[in-house]
Structures are given as structure tokens and as C-alpha cells.
Amino acid sequence: MSKPYYITTPIYYPNSDPHIGSVYTTLCCDVLARFMRLDGHEVKFLTGTDEHGQKIEQTATKLGKSPQEFVDEASKSFRNVLAVYNLSVDDFIRTTELRHKRGVQHFWELLEKKGYIYLGSYAGWYAVRDEAFYTESDLVDGKAPTGAPVEWVEEPSYFFKLSAFQDKLLEYYASHPDFIAPLSRRNEVLSFVKGGLKDLSVSRTSFKWGIPVPGNESHVIYVWLDALMNYLTALGYPDREKRDYTTFWPADVHMVGKDILRFHAVYWPAFLMAADLPLPKKIFAHGWWTNKGQKISKSLGNVIDPYEIAETYGVDQVRYFLIREVPFGNDGDYSEEALISRVNSQLSNELGNLVQRTLSMVWKNCEEKMPSPSIPFEEGDKALMKKAYSLIEDIRPLLQKDQALSKYVDLLWQLVGDANRYVDTQAPWALRKNNPPRMEVVLYTLCEVIRVLGILLQPLIPASAAKILDQLGVPEQARTFKNLEAVDALKPGAPIQEPQGIFPRLNDVRNPETC
């Protein structure tokens, strides 16, 4: 087994239902996690819910529930959406679990013992929606820079000596140029840290819903310190002898949205440095989805319900759209038109037709069996298969090193395009009449390319890729990246399943005549 791989999503606030943004973050991690598993790595893929803090307490109160009652219920919909979208998480952590609380309190005591936490008092602005502190100069028109309302807070507070880490962080960023990605985001963090770091308030006294500060229960631990620790407590921390901890820490990738990069790329590494723990290898900040150009928000009433679109368009269709639509790291704009157009042109026409017309010809003309080449392959056949077999070498660094999700799909579609052009130039329907042995060679070549595509598509559209591989008769145990070689090629003469269309064209619900 090659190197273990640990990938995490942010843990979600369950005060509102999962939406397209939260599904997106987990989906990106899912594609990477599935890819790494198929490539022979032992993977841990973690997600969960961030259940403490003032925001949750307020939401529960509004609903007339206790916070615990509220989060027990609300966290379920984040679990449910995982199954709907085929998101292959290995663990789901809730910050109200004992395993988490224990680890956070231990960590607090450690930082305190090392002299990085001291008691003082906080006077400043706080945005409950962001669960973040702001200074007067941060504010824009009386609001947080994120647009969240702020309130003035004055209370006793413990502080973390963040200011002591400014130089250490800058040194770390300089010696680990890949620590924060993409580059534009790295530059933002660098200039923030160069601008100077103030000590960070890490406890609150004006509400109760949180993990009590050990030894001073009138304080609860600041929800971001609590939440960030999930990445460690899910591995069994503070027990550093545990296999999970020794195998998976430091994490390979913390995937986050750009809005929460500062917490992950500044505060989190500083906390870890203070505790003398190794830092994660990479923080990747992806962009934000808008809906037809508008910021998605409850108040605008333009929230995209992930359950509804999965139901309407199909899970793999939505997975495909979200990953292909934006160069990973950029912002993306969701629209029904864009989704339908991509599904129809790329999944139904380009990939679907390739599979459907190839397998239908095989079914009809090769006695429902894999074609049996009886004459030598020509250069063009060999070149196409060679390209298919070597594609993994190009994809691997893109995903493993750069998390370049949309580029991975672009590369697959180049092969789809090559294969479709090959069908057109070879015209197997004509060969059927004038050169049947050559037809068998051409159809075999196509099936082999489709087998490779099916294997490589599994991380992106797992259910559809499985259907493709089932139709070709590829055994379940022969679907890893190790099998992407000529030695595991399809067996000539093996029976195949009757081909079924995999990607039906979507009707545009508003303009059916345009499809």
C-alpha cells in the first residue's frame, strides 16, 4: 500500500441546511479521496458538523429547542446528503462528541502550560454569523467585511499569543511554498500576516454553548479553536500512539472555501506550532458559487437545494457539472442552463454516444460478445490505446500535487474526443460490410479505450462509471488504476451485457423546444 492520504472538509455549521456550497466542498474532497484509493493509497476522508458557538445557540433558542436537541437533529441532514451524492467519507465528526471535547480541553491545557494562553479582557466587534472578531478598521459601512452584522462585545477573555507567531509563520510559508494554494490566495494570506498579528481572543463568557475552559467554567472555548481541532480529535488526539494519528497526521489536504482560509492558514498553524505538533501539508481554498451571478443567501431566496437538483438532473450529472464548470480554485456560477447544456453536450453526446454506439455495434455485430481481433492492429489503433493507457501518468500529478480537478476532467474528455474521431474515421458500420475482421479490431480498440475511461471516471461519476464497466463485463476487482494496462485488457469473445443508455438527454424544463 502506498503512502496514506488524509483529506478533510471544513466541518459545517448545522444552523442551516446543506446547500450547494457545502456539497461542493465535500464533493471536491470525494473526487480526490476516490482517486487516491483507486491509486492504491490508504485514505481517510473526514467531514462533520461544527455544533458549538453563539450562532447555534441563537438558532436553537429561536426554535424553542435546547442547543443539544437542535444539533442532534440538524446534523442528520449533513449526514444524509453524503449518501445522496455518493460521498465516500470514512468518518463524520461532531464537535459535541466526547472524543472531540476531550481532545480540545487537553489541547487548551497544553497551550496554557506552554505559556501561550493568558487571561485578559476583550473589547471589540463580533459577528455571530462569521463567528469572528473584527477591529474598528476592519468594518465596512458598519458591517463585517463579509457583510455580516456586528455587535460590540466587552467581556473577560483568554487570549492566544498569536503575535508571537508572525515571524515563524512567514518563515514557514517561505520554506513551504505549496502550503497554501492557489497562489493568489497564498499571497493574500502573506500580506495579511505581514500586516501584523494581534493576540487572538479564544474564549467567550456571554453565552454558554461551547466547551468549558478547563479550570474556569465561566468561559467557553472560542468556537474556531474548538472546530479546527476536529482534524486532530478525529484521529484520536490526544492519544498520539493511536494508529489513526500515527498513520494520518499531518493531513495531506485541508479543503476549505476562500472565506475561511485565514482561520486555516494563520490561526490553525499557529496553534499547532504552539503545541509543537506537525502542520498539515496543504490548505487549498476553493472559490464560491453564485446563482446566476448573485451571491447565494437565504435572504435573497436563491439557495440551491442539493436534494432537489440531484432529483431533477441526476447525482452524477450534478457532480460532473460542479467539477467541470470551474477551474478549481476559481468562483463558479450556477445556472440551470449551464448544467443542462454541459450534461447534454458532454455527458450525453460526447461520452454517452461513444459508449452507446460502440457497445450497440458490438452487441449487434459480434454475437453479444467482446470483439475478437484476428488480424494485426494498425498504428492508429495502437496509438489510441497507448494514449489511453498512459493517461493516468498525466492525471496523477494534476490531482495529487495540484488538486486540479477540472483539468483532470479536461484530459479525460480529450480522450473521449479522440475516440469519437476514431469512430468517425474508421466507420465500423461500413467495415461490417466490406472488412469484418477489421471491424472487430476497431470495435475492440474502442472497447478497450472505454474500459480505461470507465476506470478513470470512477472518482468523478462513480455510479455511471460502474454502469459502463458492468456493460463491458469488467470484474469488480479489476477496476483499480493498477488495471489500467494492456495486461488487463478485455478478453476477446467474453460475453457483454445488453447496452443501455447511461446519460439520457435532459429537457430544459423551461424551454423544452431548445433541447
> Which parts of this chain interact with ligand MSP (CB under 6 A)?
10-13, 21-22, 24-25, 50, 227-228, 230, 256-257, 259-260, 288-289, 296
Residue closer to ligand MSP by CB (options 89, 228) is 228
Comparing CA positions, the residue from 318, 356, 430, 372 lying closest to residue 81 is 318
- For residue 365, how many other CB atoms are within 10 A of its CB? 17
Residue nearest to ligand MSP (CB): 257
Check residue 251 and report its DSSP letter. P
- Looking at the Cβ atoms of 124 and 287, the one nearer to ligand MSP is 287
What the block records as the C-alpha cell of 249 is: 497526521
User: Least separation, in Å, of the C-beta of 461 and ligand MSP?
Assistant: 20
- The residue among 139 and 296 lying less far from ligand MSP, judged by its C-beta, is 296
Q: How far is the CB of 271 from ligand MSP (least distance, A)?
A: 11
- For 169, the grid coordinates are 509563520
Q: Which is nearer to ligand MSP, 25 or 358 (CB)?
A: 25
Nearer to ligand MSP, 232 or 456 (CB): 232
Q: How far is the CB of 1 from ligand MSP (least distance, A)?
A: 28
Cell numbers representing residue 476 in the block: 469488480
Q: Which is nearer to ligand MSP, 7 or 359 (CB)?
A: 7
Q: Chain centroid to CA 59: how far?
A: 27
- List all residues 6 or more positions away from 392 whose beta carbon is below 8 Å from its beta carbon: 456, 481, 484
Closest distance of CB 297 from ligand MSP, Å: 9
Query: What is the 3-class SS of 83-118, one letter each residue?
Result: HHCCCCCCEEEECCCHHHHHHHHHHHHHHHHCCCEE
| Cβ distance to ligand MSP smaller for residue 224 or 503 | 224
| Distance in Å, CB of 342 to ligand MSP, minimum | 18
The torsion angles phi and psi of 346, rounded to 5 degrees, stand at -95, -45
* Residue 331 beta carbon to ligand MSP: minimum distance, rounded to whole angstroms: 8
SS3 76: helix
Query: Which residue lies nearer to ligand MSP by CB, 228 or 469?
Result: 228
Instruction: Provide the grid cell at 319.
Output: 457532480
In whole angstroms, how far apart are CA 348 and each of 42, 340, 505, 507? 34, 10, 6, 12
Instruction: Determine the Cα–Cα distance for residues 142 and 138; give it in Å rounded to an integer.
Output: 9
Q: 77 or 365, CB closer to ligand MSP?
A: 77
- The helix/strand/coil state of 292 is coil
DSSP 124-175: EEEETTTTEEE-GGG-BTTB-TTS---EEEEEEEEEE-GGGGHHHHHHHHHH
Element (H, E) at 295: strand 294-295
Helix (H) or strand (E) holding 324: helix 315-325
* Shortest reach from residue 484's CB to ligand MSP, in Å: 32
